[in-house]
Chain A
Amino acid sequence: MDNIKWTKKDLLALSELSKEEIELILETASSFKEISTREIKKVPALRGKTVVNLFYEPSTRTRVSFEIAAKRLSADVINIIAETSSVRKGESLIDTGKNLEALKIDIIVLRHNSSGAAHLLARNVGVSVVNAGDGWHEHPTQALLDIFTLKEKFSKIQGLNVTIIGDIAHSRVARSNIWGLTKLGANVCVCAPKELLPQDIEKLNVKATTDIDEALKDADCINVLRMQLERDERSVFPSALEYFKQYGITQERINKLKRKILIMHPGPLNRGVEISSEVADGENSLILEQVTNGIAVRMAVLYLVSQAK
């Protein structure tokens, strides 16, 4: 692994990474994980660097996770929430990026509601851009922390059966997971009502089904996605109750499988919509471990992109 070097200025999408690059991030994360268990949770790796969290969409988990990750590496962190910045005065994403660059910052962590926004920014600034979720496109650090968590549990990803359930059509988490998992050799199945399965998804080397029993049958782990009800512009989504009945992950459904199955969820949870409290809080739930691992993975990403230049 030592012969693999990180060369990319940015982390934009897992679709653009090689298997080796993904493994390098995971290994780097592994070595960073211990830092968060120390009495003094800080190393000087990014001392003197400035990380800007530029968020155009509401987010608590991801923003705080990036902020903690940067701080544990001793970087200075600035948070910009678009609603309270000059974005409201009509400034373009590129202008905002160029102004941040002129302020001599080092890394922009971007969350944006438009697919491709991270690519647009990365093309137009010299500083590193880390995609913290762009539209429906990708959320690479979320998938990396999901895969990291799986790797801790199963020791390898190759041959693992992972099922992603929920609103695949509008999910950047699903897309990044599909890329990351398939590159590492997992068998991925996506499951959703037909209206939430995007066109030609099986061409990404995944199995697609509307049948939840079929999707759960061989799964070692399921990644339960949040119903993104706020994206339902044309009222095509099933109602919350209807969805829970058909696709909700309940203890009853898990018990029927007669084998251990691990549960992940990228958060925030809609209890009683896509998952029952019993399962979310149950012994096979990895949900809070995911959150913890998010710090190590984001530390690894910030560290690697800062070393690329």
Chain B
Amino acid sequence: MRIIIKEGFIVDPINNFLNYADILIEEEKIKKIERKIEEPADLTILAKEKIVLSGLVDLHVHLRQPGREDKETILTATSASAKGGITTLLAMPNTEPPIDSEENLRLLKEIIKKDAKVEVLPSCTITLKREGKELVDFKRLKEEGVFVFTDDGSSIEDEDLMLQAMLKAKKEDVLLFLHCEDKSLSHKGVVNLGIISTRLGLRGIPKEAEYKRIERDLKLAQKTDCPIHITHISCKESVELIAEAKKKGIRVSCDTCPHYFSLTEDDLLDFDTNKKINPPLRTKEDVLAIKQALREGIIDCITSDHAPHTEHEKEVEFENAEFGTIGLETELSVAITELIETKIIDWKKLGELFCSNPAKILRIERGSLSPGKDANLIILDPKKEWVVRKEDFLSKSKNSAFLGKTLKGKVEYTIYKGKIIYEDKK
């Protein structure tokens, strides 16, 4: 199969290529990228006024399978990924059972092999059963191809165990991916602590719960020289700590999610449980700090923290609702709407945040468009406006914080290993 994509605007930060060009895909690979390609092909896609970008690499996705197939499956999540333009994703291991052993990893890999429509990279827990008590066997799991270890959803409370985890991770040369939250500070909180928690009469989560834990883990990373990635940062103080750590040469990368640069705690005034997220939506000031950090490269990438939940887990009293929003099908459009349209970042930066930087963090050959590489790419219409509607989601769960919003920019084609896996039928 030969596909030619003609007249698109190519955005490829790794090769520093931002220009109009044609792309020839042959079987699984990109054959060539040239100003004009006049060759026979099985399919020609005219991408005039469209942007061609490497497929997105999303480092933070909850697939829910195995165990919670009522919320999401690998089939539905990867279909949603294809629609959202994501061709590589890192699966969080907080499934039932959690991915903490070779046996459970094998189980996950079998489902991926059978059902996944895009590349799914498994991660493993840091501690057995995510209990924060005993470390998993990094060495054995690394031999099975796992590079990222995370207790996502929880943070290891025991500081000495965290230190041991870093020493071991450093030795095995694997990445620790950290959800930073001091549960003794977040306690039973459900929204950001401040005027909104006061107005709504809901328990607040102070920002300290996030940044004090980041502070601790940065210190340990400095001490051990272990590479760490801090996920879903949501507030100004976290940005400042990470900026400072990077200056000091601490090996840290981080991500944020679309809801942390587009929504604030003020959006919770109607008690919309789809916006109940952990860490919680913060203030306008934090949103500004996150946007600035994305622009300046302090934040390395954008992830979805795609967290599907069933309707009956969300449509309940606010304090009883599950935390999280789905994000695979909206993350790119929210970023275009909030960051590109407002000129906070340019297309090159967007490509870095979604494609090349996360690929570098995972040390994989993804996130760029070079001849000879796998043809994982998307064609998107940067001008197309669309309304986020429940019935349009391919994800099994519909708990989106963006329901009803008008977004700009839409994926028209997603190509994975040379095959069209998604096409927007308008």
Bin chain A's interface residue count.
20 to 34
Q: Is B194 an interface residue (CB 8 A)?
A: yes
Q: Is A117 an interface residue (CB 8 A)?
A: yes
Contact partner of B199 among A124, A170, A175, CB < 8 A? A175
Cβ–Cβ contact A201 & B198, under 8 A: yes
Give residues 176-203 of B contacting A (CB, 8 Å): 193-195, 197-202
Contact partner of A120 among B199, B201, B316, CB < 8 A? B316
A131 to chain B, nearest CB (A): 12
CB-defined contacts of A93 to chain B, threshold 8 Å: 316-317
Cβ–Cβ contact B317 & A15, under 8 A: no
CB-defined contacts of B199 to chain A, threshold 8 Å: 15, 175, 204
**Docked pose: A198 CA to B202 CA in angstroms:** 10
Contact partner of A199 among B197, B271, B318, B319, CB < 8 A? B197
Cβ–Cβ contact A115 & B316, under 8 A: no
**Docked pose: A92 CA to B312 CA in angstroms:** 9
Contact partner of B270 among A119, A136, A172, CB < 8 A? A119
CB-defined contacts of A92 to chain B, threshold 8 Å: 312, 315-316
**Docked pose: A117 CA to B201 CA in angstroms:** 11
Q: Is A272 an interface residue (CB 8 A)?
A: no
Q: Is B204 an interface residue (CB 8 A)?
A: yes
Cβ–Cβ contact A119 & B271, under 8 A: yes
Give residues 200-241 of B contacting A (CB, 8 Å): 200-202, 204
Contact partner of A136 among B193, B201, B312, B316, CB < 8 A? B201
Cβ–Cβ contact A175 & B271, under 8 A: no
Q: Is A203 an interface residue (CB 8 A)?
A: yes
Given contacts A115-B200, A137-B201, A172-B201, A199 and B316 within 8 Å (CB-CB):
no
B261 to chain A, nearest CB (A): 23
A234 to chain B, nearest CB (A): 8
Q: Is B320 an interface residue (CB 8 A)?
A: yes
CB-defined contacts of A198 to chain B, threshold 8 Å: 197-198
Cβ–Cβ contact A204 & B195, under 8 A: yes
Cβ–Cβ contact B312 & A114, under 8 A: no
B225 to chain A, nearest CB (A): 38
Cβ–Cβ contact A124 & B315, under 8 A: yes
CB-defined contacts of A170 to chain B, threshold 8 Å: 201
**Docked pose: A37 CA to B3 CA in angstroms:** 86
CB-defined contacts of A15 to chain B, threshold 8 Å: 199
Cβ–Cβ contact A137 & B200, under 8 A: yes
B268 to chain A, nearest CB (A): 9
Cβ–Cβ contact A199 & B315, under 8 A: no
Contact partner of B315 among A120, A136, A201, CB < 8 A? A120
CB-defined contacts of A115 to chain B, threshold 8 Å: 200-202, 271, 318-319
Instruction: Convert A188-203 into 0s and 1s, putting 1 for each residue whose CB lies closer than 8 angstroms to a CB of B.
Output: 0000000000111101
Instruction: Convert A14-40 into 0s and 1s, putting 1 for each residue whose CB lies closer than 8 angstroms to a CB of B.
Output: 010000000000000000000000000
Given contacts A92-B312, A135-B201, A116 and B318 within 8 Å (CB-CB):
yes
**Docked pose: A92 CA to B271 CA in angstroms:** 17
Q: Is A138 an interface residue (CB 8 A)?
A: yes
Q: Is A105 an interface residue (CB 8 A)?
A: no
Cβ–Cβ contact A116 & B198, under 8 A: no
Q: Which of B195, B197, B199, B320 has the most CB of A within 10 A?
A: B199
**Docked pose: A93 CA to B321 CA in angstroms:** 13
A49 to chain B, nearest CB (A): 27
Cβ–Cβ contact A116 & B200, under 8 A: yes
Give residues 78-102 of A contacting B (CB, 8 Å): 92-94
Cβ–Cβ contact B317 & A116, under 8 A: yes
Given contacts A92-B312, A199-B193, A199-B204, A114 and B198 within 8 Å (CB-CB):
no
A233 to chain B, nearest CB (A): 8
**Docked pose: A94 CA to B321 CA in angstroms:** 13
Give residues 64-92 of B contacting A (CB, 8 Å): none
CB within 8 Å of B: which residues of A?
15, 92-94, 112, 114-117, 119-120, 124, 134-138, 170, 172, 175, 198-201, 203-204
Given A94-B315, A170-B201, output 14 extra A-B contacts at Cβ < 8 Å: A114-B317, A114-B319, A115-B202, A116-B202, A119-B270, A120-B318, A134-B201, A135-B202, A136-B202, A137-B202, A172-B201, A200-B195, A201-B198, A203-B195
- CB pairs A–B below 8 angstroms (23 shown): A15-B199, A92-B315, A92-B316, A93-B317, A114-B318, A114-B319, A115-B200, A115-B318, A116-B200, A116-B202, A116-B317, A119-B270, A119-B271, A120-B315, A120-B317, A136-B201, A138-B201, A199-B197, A200-B195, A201-B198, A203-B195, A204-B198, A204-B199
